């Protein structure tokens, strides 16, 4: 049994966490669901097929329009220890590559669309085991796109003759017309469209000082009868919170890495199937889980970073329906985070301090939360979103800052140097 996506992400690619919609795309592909991923340049599209290629049986066939692009990708994939090859006019080792493909010794095979659509290539694939078709620069399939390549249109019969093999189309640039065209041309269902950009407009962000944790959690639960996740910072805390939520008329389960694997699997399966369950979990829960109808995510304490917060809160509302993300923090969270800094290598301390300061700025701001988040990811948002606590109920002006906020400022600012 191959490793899970989170382990592969760390062990093969050396990344701590998925970025943007990567997790969603990877999860869909591993589940065998056709997908069109629209992600800005630099968002990390390659990983969306490279990781499944390592997680699934069979070779991933990557259709790519340019030999130079293919060879770049090939080099970086090989540097990661991925067994990758290409079949292009610039390659001399065709025989060997074909033999490796048939013998099941390739994770990735790059080809150009004109090669992929030929009869010879199809019969080669029929002798091999294919796990995924990745169609990179998929806008080339559309006449609406800026880069129409007629050969991309010839891919469809190949894809259709391997109907069981999932297809993943990837592009950075697609207006509404082009998107629809890509879906139709490549035979991907409309539900397969995944669009990145960091904004999650259906998530309502709320960030509050913790002044009665169970009461605050209870209020969120009462307002949202659908499934929800409560992130706690320790295994003991998940058990404790789960215990005290019993008797609220909702199924509640804990999830953390200290539970036996079969209990973890059972709890996760129950949550996925449920329409009203509350999972009280450590951050070990959620990676690679595609449950579209999560209606709320509560952080019972400070997350590790803005990136973690974005990813964890982003598990709410993947179906696009309204959802809330509530972060409950205390000044002691910052104190503890600062204490942890002293335990890491000196060269990592600066980064840790910056992470804490960024979280401090997020919880402290009286301005739009979404704007702070999006700016963190390099987007240039409008000053107000109309769907976060501060936009919905502007806080009193700066001189009326709460005691908690003043305390917080003192705490995290002294941590900067």
What is the contact surface with Mg ion in residues (CB under 5 A)?
A: 45
Q: Is 271 in the site for ligand ADP (CB under 6 A)?
A: no
Q: Is 171 in the site for ligand ADP (CB under 6 A)?
A: no
Select the residue interacting with ligand ADP from 21, 29, 43, 109 (CB under 6 A): 43
| HSE-up (13 A, CA, CB side) for residue 212 | 5
Q: Which stretch binds ligand ADP (CB under 6 A): 43-51, 103-111, 246-254, 277-285?
A: 43-51
CB-CB contact of 252 with 304 (8 Å)? no
In terms of C-beta density within 10 A (0-12 exposed, 13-18 middle, 19 or more buried), how is residue 286 classed? buried
Phi, then psi, of 265 in degrees rounded to 5: -65, -40
Q: Which stretch binds ligand ADP (CB under 6 A): 18-26, 218-226, 320-328, 335-343?
A: 18-26
What sign does the CA torsion over 310, 316, 321, 323 have? negative
Distance CA(109)–CA(155), nearest Å, equals 15
Question: At closest approach, how far in Å is the CB of 47 from ligand ADP?
Answer: 4
Tell me the CA end-to-end span of the chain in Å, nearest whole number.
47
Residue nearest to Mg ion (CB): 45
Query: Pattern of binders to ligand ADP over 369-398, x per CB under 6 A?
Result: ------------------------------
Q: Is 304 in the site for ligand ADP (CB under 6 A)?
A: no
Q: β-strands 167-171, 35-38: how paired? A: parallel
Question: At closest approach, how far in Å is the CB of 24 from ligand ADP?
Answer: 12
Q: How many residues of this chain interact with ligand ADP, rule: CB under 6 A?
A: 12
CB-CB contact of 239 with 257 (8 Å)? no
Q: Is 35 in the site for ligand ADP (CB under 6 A)?
A: no
Q: How far from 102 is each of 58, 150, 159, 398, CA to CA, in Å?
A: 10, 29, 18, 67
Select the residue interacting with ligand ADP from 12, 25, 39, 230 (CB under 6 A): 39
Helices (H), 224-345: 235-245, 261-273, 306-313, 331-341
| HSE-up (13 A, CA, CB side) for residue 129 | 9
Select the residue interacting with ligand ADP from 5, 44, 65, 226 (CB under 6 A): 44
Query: Pattern of binders to ligand ADP over 45-64, x per CB under 6 A?
Result: xxx-----------------
Q: Is 22 in the site for ligand ADP (CB under 6 A)?
A: yes
Nearer to ligand ADP, 109 or 241 (CB): 109
Task: Please give the residue ranges that form the binding site for ligand ADP (CB under 6 A).
Answer: 15, 18-19, 22, 39, 41-47
């Amino acid at each position: 049994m191959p490793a899970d996506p989170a382990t592969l992400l760390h062990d093969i690619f050396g990344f701590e966490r998925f970025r943007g919609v990567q997790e969603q795309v990877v999860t869909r592909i591993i589940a065998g669901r056709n997908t069109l991923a629209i992600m800005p340049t630099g968002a990390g599209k390659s990983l969306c097929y490279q990781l499944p290629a390592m997680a699934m049986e069979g070779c991933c066939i990557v259709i790519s329009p340019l030999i130079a692009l293919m060879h770049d990708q090939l080099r970086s994939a090989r540097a990661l220890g991925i067994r990758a090859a290409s079949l292009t006019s610039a390659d001399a080792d065709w025989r060997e590559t074909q033999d490796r493909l048939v013998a099941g010794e390739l994770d990735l095979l790059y080809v150009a669309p004109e090669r992929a659509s030929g009869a010879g290539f199809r019969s080669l694939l029929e002798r091999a085991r294919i796990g995924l078709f990745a169609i990179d620069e998929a806008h080339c399939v559309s006449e609406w796109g800026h880069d129409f390549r007629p050969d991309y249109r010839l891919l469809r019969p190949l894809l259709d003759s391997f109907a069981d093999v999932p297809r993943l189309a990837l592009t950075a640039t697609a207006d509404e017309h082009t998107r629809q065209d890509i879906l139709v041309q490549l035979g991907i269902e409309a539900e397969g469209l995944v669009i990145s950009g960091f904004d999650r407009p259906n998530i309502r962000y709320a960030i509050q000082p913790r002044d009665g944790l169970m009461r605050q959690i209870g209020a969120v639960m009462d307002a949202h009868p659908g499934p929800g996740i409560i992130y706690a910072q320790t295994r003991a805390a998940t058990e404790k919170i789960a215990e005290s939520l019993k008797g609220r008329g909702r199924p509640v389960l804990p999830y953390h890495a200290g539970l036996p694997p079969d209990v973890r699997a059972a709890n996760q399966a129950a949550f996925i199937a449920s329409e009203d369950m509350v999972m009280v979990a450590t951050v070990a829960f959620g990676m690679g889980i595609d449950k579209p109808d999560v209606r709320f995510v509560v952080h019972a304490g400070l997350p590790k970073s803005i990136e973690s917060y974005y990813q964890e809160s982003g598990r709410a509302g993947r179906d696009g329906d309204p959802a809330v993300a509530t972060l409950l923090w205390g000044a002691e969270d910052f104190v503890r985070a600062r204490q942890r800094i002293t335990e890491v290598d000196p060269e990592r301390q600066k980064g840790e301090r910056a992470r804490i300061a960024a979280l401090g700025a997020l919880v402290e701001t009286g301005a739009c939360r979404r704007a702070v988040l999006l700016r963190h990811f390099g987007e240039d948002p409008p000053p107000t979103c109309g769907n976060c606590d501060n936009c919905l109920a502007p806080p009193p002006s700066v001189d009326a800052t709460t005691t908690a906020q003043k305390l917080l400022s003192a705490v995290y600012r002294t941590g900067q140097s």
